[in-house]
Structure formats: structure tokens, C-alpha cells
Structure 1
Amino acid sequence: MRLKKLSLRVRIFFAMIVLVLIASILIAGVTIYQYNEEAIDYHKERLERKERAIISDINYVIKETTYPVETEKVSLIFKDEIYRIAAIHGMKINFYDLDGTLLKSSKASFEPDSIIKCIDVEILNAISNTAEHRYVVKNEKNGETFQSSYTYIYDSKSKPLAILNLPYLENDDFLNKELNEFLERLGYAYLFMMFIAIILALLLSKYITRTLKTVSDKINETRLEKRNKKIDIESSSEEISTLVNSYNSMIDQLEESAVQLATSEREQAWREMAKQVAHEIKNPLTPMRLSVQSFQRKFNPEDENIYQKVDEYSKTLIQQIDTMSSIASAFSNFAKMPAQKNETLNVTNIVKLALDIFSEDYIEFSSDENEIMANFDRTQLIRVITNLVKNGIQAIPHDKENPKIKVKVASENDMVKITVEDNGIGVSDENKNKIFEPKFTTKTSGMGLGLAMVKNIVETYKGSITFTSQQEIGTTFTVTFPKI
């Protein structure tokens, strides 16, 4: 599972290093196996060469001897010659009769049981049953390996005369020394190869993943709301080219989809806006129409109360006209982005000034400092404060005991923090995600554009607005933006 979490570059690097290590281990293993096989063949061939040479000398002695060539006379025939032959060929020589009893040994003096006095029956049977009348026994003693060959020697008439035994010690010191020297040289070579492999693995993994990193960075930078650049790679593999072409094709489709989506959203927004404007305008038009119709039906120039009735009709029409005017102003203010004048303002004074228009005596103001400077448009900042305070006032029920709105200005690090806290009805959980959406309102009147406009203004000046609320306890709005 951890391997899957590694990056492609790291996996390529480790794969190459592991490959070199496995190759070195396999070659070292094959080398050791080959040396062991060669050692076995070497000892086998060496024993055979020694045996042929010794038999040749033995045949010459048998040919030149003056003793009768008989099994019983072997000890006399080779009384002195056995030592000469053993010394020349550097091997011990033992003669046994055909029944396996020791006749003569090149070891002049030996302790009891240091030389086998009789050949084992199984060995005798093996010698007599083979075509070459030869048998080799292999055993280990004290960590050393010995071979012992048994073969017939013949007289001049090819009649078996005796059994020749040649004990042979497999001395691997020379071969082991060669093997160790070879493995040492091989180790140096593989250390050098490992160093080269690490460098090549780093370069190769970087080369392979560089293009993928470029593609990954481009994909991470891809945004629906902006124009995305295509990937342009001059040289790459077929697989990478396919991936890049797929990404570039996706960018074309994404750009086309973004244009279609933007057009659709604009059209939908205009349709929704038109519906909302039509609905809000129709609301005052209906009482206006009814008032005019009623005035037409009841108009009587001779009525003594005619002037009073005309005045009442006029007030009704003016009131509805003012409502329509406020509707138009609300949409105009929402659509118009605040101008970034970047005036240097004392936020404390401006917030205090914005609160002067309210007559409610339960509005409390406090500030951590008398002077907190920031770049903000004076009119827009006043609009933010008045909208938040007005929302707080409207959120407090008329029959609420001890209504309270707290407005506080504070300085936190390099930010200005303004909080507007009320003890009104709060915001329900289902409405918390909609609170800053245009046209959303929980009131029976109003356009639902106030908080959306406040959010628009604050974000224009690189600030943010958040809120916390508990039903029947109250709501706190927090506005933050950079200070000077």
C-alpha cells in the first residue's frame, strides 16, 4: 500500500536500483555456482590424470621386475618403487589384493587403523561390476573433502594383479582464492555500476516525470472562469503526446462550455431579474389602478368633501410611486459596483457617523482605538454599516424586551474588524446558506438585495463578511478588511 503512495519518479528510481541489485546478485550467484562446478570437474580430471600416470609407472615396473608377476609378490615388486612413484606424483599409493586385503602402502610407518586394511565389500563389488573396473569413493572429514579411487592393475597378460588405491585430497584453496579475487573485482565493478545507475535513474526519472509534472501543473491551474492555456511540448513520447492532445482538446471543449454557460447564466439572470422587477412593479400598480378607478366612479364636483378625497387619492398614488422609485433604486444600487476610490478614512469616525441616522436608543457603539485607518470609500462604508444595522433592527421583534444592537470596531493585526451584534430572532439553519444570495429575504417587504450588496462592497475592497447566528438568541455579522 505504501508503494502506491510513492510518486512515479521515486518508483522509477527505486525500480532501476532494485534491477541493478538483482542483476548483481544473480551474476554473483551464477559465478559462484560456475566456480564450484569447475572445481568439481578440476578435481575429477586431476585424479584421473594422476591415476593414468601412476598406472603407467606401475606397468613399467611390472614389465622390468625380476620377481614373478603374481599378487603375492606385489609387496616385493614394489618394495622400493612404491616410494619413488609416490614421491614423483605427490600422492599416497596403496595396493590391495583382489580380495581387498592391504598388500603394500607408500606410507612407510603408520599408526594402526590410519590406513584401511581391507576394502569394503560394496566397493569390491562395484569395482568388479563396472566395465572399467574402477570405482571412486567421496567423503568428508574434518571439513575437508577426500576422493579415493580404486582400480585394477594388470600383468602383461591383462590378468588382474591387484587393486590400486589412490587417496586424493580436494584442496580448493587456490580456486577459492581466485573466486574471492574475482568477486572482489566484481564488487568494485558493481559499485561503480550502482553509482552510474543512481545518476541515470535520477536523470531518467526526472526526464520521464517532467512532462507529466507540466501536465499536472496545467491541470491544477485549469479554471472554468478564466481562459486556460494549452500545453505546448516540443519533444515527448507517444503516450505523453496523446495525453497532451487530450488535455488541449479538453481545454477547447471547456472554453466552449464556459462561454455557453456564461451566456446561459446571463440570460437566466436577466430573466429572473425581469420577473422580479415586473413582480415588484405590479404590486404598487394594482392599488394605483384601483384608486384611479374608484376616483373615476365617485368623482363629483359638487361634493363638499371633494378636495379631501382628491388629497387622499393623491397621497395613495404618491405613496405607490415612492415604492416604485425605491424598487428602481434598490436594483440600481445592486447593479452598480462601488468605485474603488481608496480614500484614507478613520474607520472609527465613519462608523460612528453612520450610526447617527438611527434614532433607536438601544444601539451601542464601542471601539478599541480612537483612530483606525483604512483605505475605503466613505459612502460605501456607510452603506455597509447602515444595511447591517437596519437588518439587526428588523430582526428584533417589536415586543422584544431589552432589544440591543452592539456595533464594535477593533484592530486585529493588519485587519480592521467591525462586528454588528443583535439579539433578534436569528437565522434558521436552512437559510444560513442563502443569506447573501440576491433576492433572498425573510421579510414581507424589501427586495432581498441588502446583504448581497454589502458582500459585494466588502469583497471589492479585499475584505470578507461572515456571520454566526442562533435562533431566538441573535445574530452577529463580522466584516474584516485590510487597514493601512
Structure 2
Amino acid sequence: MTFLVIIAFGGIALLTIPQYKEQSNKYHEQRLERKQSQLQRSISYVFQNTPMGLNEAELDSVFKEKIFQIADVQNVNFSIYSLDGRLLNSTLLDTVNNKINDSILIKLNQTKELNIIQKTTVNNVQYRSSYSLIFDNFSNPIWILNLPYFDDDNLNSYELNSFITIFGQVYFLILIFAILFSYLISVYITKSLSEIGKKIKQTRLGKTNTKIQIKARSKEVNILVESYNKMVGMLNDSVKKLSKSNKEQAWREMAKQVAHEIKNPLTPMRLSIQSFQKNFDKNDSQIENKLDEFIKTLIQQIDTMSTIASAFSNFAEMPAQEGGKINIIETTGLALKIFKEKHIIFDSEFKDIQVGIDRTQMVRIITNLIKNAVEACESLDDPLIQVNIKKKKKNVLIHITDNGVGIPLEIRNKIFEPNFTTKTSGMGLGLGMVKNIVSSYDGTISFKSKINSGTSFLISFPIYSD
């Protein structure tokens, strides 16, 4: 819009200046014609009041007296030449030619009624000279009238400059208005588009996405909003169906794993009871020792079942998201104090980084990852576990690195599955629970691992802002 205003201003200026020059030229032509006509009428009036039958010399004598009177009345200076081009009389004090140019005489002789205009330019100023025949009372040509004229464009130039100035001021105001209007329109339109872009960036397959609640005046933007909202509705429906299907499949797998884990301690419990029943002899001198051993075996298997039940219960409760914020540096340090291993090193150049996460959940994350790192380093002579916390833009990064045995390549894509484990006991819920907690607080977790060189986990959380 602003560009069009500038183009329009330039176009009008380019058209106006030549038009003004054309009008000025026509004005001078018409003005010269009027002055010439007035002089011819005044000279004709003198002829009408002059006695008939005067010769050329007597007429010259008469006009020597009248020529200055005519010049004063008409407020112009002029010259009179003979038909052969000689100067007879003139009211001009200087810059008068004593003889007319031969080409002018030829043109006048060819057509008796012709009015000849000669144009000359001196110092960028245009001069006009009008040559016309003077007729006596019998319509016979007797003299040649020369009327010099100077193109005075001061008034026209002033009017043109005034017009361009006013025109420029008006267009400057229009330009300012156009810029402001364009800015407001762009802000209004881009506000809607920014909101749409923000929502599109926030769109995720694994969560419920919100629709855009704006009413734009632009038809095209409204169509875009409606299309996005329709897509979000379809995506949310698909996510719900997929989530439901995944949950059902996960719980079926979980039930199989729970049943398998519970059967493991039940089998030795059954065998122990049957063996105790078969070999029970109340007169046996070692009956008390055997009874103690039998009870310890049952208690151990019951504890194993209790551990399985607790692990399953803890995972089923996730994510239990609590509000509030914590100093992640302090909380991580406290979580590491429960481990007695001297090869665990905690380092951070910051004293306080606030993160919006429940303290208990953060402790569970650190505890699970450090426990796995400790177990990965058990067979090493010189184990090392490093915990480092840094800032990156608007996020806090937690690095947990060990120099353990590493994670085999074939199982790396399964370690966050809730029922996956490489251990001979337990539910394999640790890393699945960690990923659940991290995701519930808008965080991410990833890892890198190399066989016999170690594993590094990276957790990222958004820094808390009021």
C-alpha cells in the first residue's frame, strides 16, 4: 500500500509538470495574440481618424506622434517596419533590429494575412517576436508590425512550486497514514498468524492439543483457523484411540509380566512347604533349626512378592504431577547423599536453578538413574559416575555419566519400555517410570552409550519463570 502511494505521487508529479509547461506555453501564445490584436485595432483606429489621401511620408509623420500614445495606452512596446523590412518607428529604447530577417519577409509576402511568430532563447529565457502586416483604410498592406514578447514564467513557476509543495505535503500525510494503517493491519493479521504458528509448533501427537480461539476479520485467516481446528479435532480423536489401544496393550503385557514374576517366588514357597510337610518329625532334635530355616525361606519369598507389588504400584500411580518449584541443584545433591559410593561426583557452577517439578519425583528420577549407573560399574576396578547440571538458554540440563559396561545396541530402543529389564529379578519399571515423570513435567530424556566405555543420560527441564 505504501509503495502504491509513492508510485502514485511520482506519477502525478511527472504528469503535472509537463502539463503546467504546456499550459504556460498556451498562455503566452494567447497573450501575445491578444496584445497584437489590440495594437492592430489601435493602429486601425488612427487610420480611421487620419485624413484620406496622405502619402507614405505623411503617414509616417502622423504615426511618429501617435506610436508612443498607443504604446502607453496598451502598455506594450513595438516597432513598425516598412514592407521591405527597414525600421521606421519604435518605442523600444534598445535591442531593436534595424531590419527584419529576409526569411520573415518571404513568409509575409507569400501569405498576406499570415502572422509570423519567431522564437529565440537567450540565457534559458524564451523570447517571441510577432510579425504581422498593417493595412490602410483600403486594405492595402502598408507597414509591418513587430511586437516583441518575453515569456515571464515567474507566476506560473510560483504556482507550480506552490502546487508541488502542497501536493507533496498532502501526499506526505497520506504516506504517513498509509504506513501507520499498513502497520496496524499487518500487526492485526500477523497477530492471528503468530497465534496460529504458535499453536502449530505446540501440536504434539502424544498429547491433547487445544484449538485456536480467535475470530479474525480476514476470511482467509478464518479459513486457516477453521482448517487447523478441524485437523486438531481429528488428531485428538486419533490420539485418544491410539492411546487407548496402547494402554490396553501395555496393561496386557504388564499383566503377563506380573503373573510371571509372582509365579517365581510361589514355586519355591510351594516346594518348601511340601518338603517341610513330608519331612516334618516333631521328635527330630533339629526341628527348631529346620523350622527357622523354613520360616526364613518363606519370609524371603514373601518380601520378593512385596517388592514386585510395590514396584507395580509405584508405576501405576505415574504421573502424579504436583505443583510448586524446587532448587534443582539442592534437590539433586540431597538425592545423591543416600549413596555411599565415593566414585559419585556431583558438579555444577550454579547454586540455584528453579524448576517447576515436585521434589519427590525429582528424587525418584535421580535415584533410579544413579542406581543403574552404580550397577553398571560394579565389575570395574576404577568406577566413575559424574553428575553435572548446566543451563542452556531457557532450559536446565542434567548429565549423568558412568564408565560402566554400556548398553547393548540391540536393546537400546527398549530400555524405556515399562516391562523391559535385563536383570534376573524385578519388574523393569525404573527407566519407564523415569521417562513418565520427565515427560509429565514437559521435560525430555535421552542417552548415549558405548560398549565397555559407559553411558550418559541427558535430562532437560524448562527453567521456572514467574
Asked whether the equivalents of residues 420 and 476 of structure 1 are also in contact (C-alpha less than 8 Å), the reply is yes
**Would the alpha carbon gap of residues 158 and 199 (structure 1) be closer, same or farther in structure 2, given more than 3 Å must change?**
same
Give the secondary-structure state (helix, strand or coil) at the position aligned to 1:42. Answer: helix
Give the secondary-structure state (helix, strand or coil) at the position aligned to 2:146. Answer: strand
User: Displacement, 1:54?
Assistant: 0.7
Asked whether the equivalents of residues 192 and 214 of structure 2 are also in contact (C-alpha less than 8 Å), the reply is no
Asked whether the equivalents of residues 365 and 437 of structure 2 are also in contact (C-alpha less than 8 Å), the reply is no
Alignment of structure 1 residues 203-222 onto 2, 5 Å:
203-209=184-190, 211-212=192-193, 215-216=196-197, 218-219=199-200, 222=203
User: Displacement, 1:353?
Assistant: 4.2
1:261 is matched with 242
User: Which amino acid in the other structure matches residue 404 of structure 1?
Assistant: P
Is residue 105 from structure 1 mapped to residue 86 from structure 2 by the alignment? Answer: no
Alignment of structure 1 residues 395-434 onto 2, 5 Å:
402-406=381-385, 422-427=402-407
Asked whether the equivalents of residues 78 and 92 of structure 2 are also in contact (C-alpha less than 8 Å), the reply is no
2:430 is matched with 450
User: Displacement, 1:347?
Assistant: 7.0
1:177 is matched with 158
Percent same amino acid at aligned positions? 36
User: Displacement, 1:167?
Assistant: 0.8
Q: Deviations over 1:98-130 (max 9, x none)?
A: 33x2232314654xxx43333333333333445
TM-score (norm 1): 0.65
Q: Distance between the aligned counterparts of 1:420 and 1:108, measured in 2?
A: 109
Q: Deviations over 1:409-429 (max 9, x none)?
A: 9999xx999976543233467
User: Displacement, 1:51?
Assistant: 0.6
Unaligned segments of structure 1, at least 5 residues: 1-14, 292-313, 356-361
User: Displacement, 1:85?
Assistant: 2.0
Q: Deviations over 1:189-243 (max 9, x none)?
A: 445545555554455555555555555555555555125245353x835444433
Alignment of structure 1 residues 68-147 onto 2, 5 Å:
75-99=60-84, 101-107=85-91, 110=94, 114-130=95-111, 132-147=113-128
TM-score (norm 2): 0.68
User: Which amino acid in the other structure matches residue 106 of structure 1?
Assistant: S
Is residue 364 from structure 1 mapped to residue 346 from structure 2 by the alignment? Answer: no
User: Displacement, 1:256?
Assistant: 2.1
Is residue 54 from structure 1 mapped to residue 39 from structure 2 by the alignment? Answer: yes
Q: Deviations over 1:114-148 (max 9, x none)?
A: 43333333333333445731111112112321111
**Would the alpha carbon gap of residues 70 and 469 (structure 1) be closer, same or farther in structure 2, given more than 3 Å must change?**
farther
User: Which amino acid in the other structure matches residue 375 of structure 2?
Assistant: I
User: Which amino acid in the other structure matches residue 454 of structure 2?
Assistant: G
Q: Distance between the aligned counterparts of 1:417 and 1:142, measured in 2?
A: 82
User: Which amino acid in the other structure matches residue 165 of structure 1?
Assistant: N
1:298 is matched with none
User: Which amino acid in the other structure matches residue 22 of structure 2?
Assistant: E
Q: Distance between the aligned counterparts of 1:438 and 1:346, measured in 2?
A: 25
Q: Distance between the aligned counterparts of 2:223 and 2:363, measured in 1?
A: 54
Deviates more, 1:200-209 or 1:53-62: 200-209
1:296 is matched with none
**Would the alpha carbon gap of residues 176 and 351 (structure 1) be closer, same or farther in structure 2, given more than 3 Å must change?**
closer
Q: Deviations over 1:377-430 (max 9, x none)?
A: 49x957953663355434565xx5x24244779999xx9999765432334678
Asked whether the equivalents of residues 67 and 77 of structure 1 are also in contact (C-alpha less than 8 Å), the reply is no
Q: Deviations over 1:237-271 (max 9, x none)?
A: 54444334333333332332222222232244345
User: Which amino acid in the other structure matches residue 47 of structure 1?
Assistant: L
Q: Deviations over 1:28-52 (max 9, x none)?
A: 4444444323222221111111111
Q: Distance between the aligned counterparts of 1:368 and 1:230, measured in 2?
A: 44
**Would the alpha carbon gap of residues 150 and 271 (structure 1) be closer, same or farther in structure 2, given more than 3 Å must change?**
farther
How many correspondences in the alignment?
419
**Would the alpha carbon gap of residues 429 and 132 (structure 1) be closer, same or farther in structure 2, given more than 3 Å must change?**
farther
Alignment of structure 1 residues 198-277 onto 2, 5 Å:
198-209=179-190, 211-212=192-193, 215-216=196-197, 218-219=199-200, 222-224=203-205, 225-226=207-208, 228-231=210-213, 233=215, 236-270=217-251, 272-273=253-254
Q: Distance between the aligned counterparts of 1:62 and 1:440, measured in 2?
A: 131
User: Which amino acid in the other structure matches residue 79 of structure 1?
Assistant: K
Unaligned segments of structure 2, at least 5 residues: 272-293
Q: Distance between the aligned counterparts of 1:203 and 1:176, measured in 2?
A: 40
Q: Distance between the aligned counterparts of 2:249 and 2:359, measured in 1?
A: 33
Asked whether the equivalents of residues 368 and 411 of structure 1 are also in contact (C-alpha less than 8 Å), the reply is no
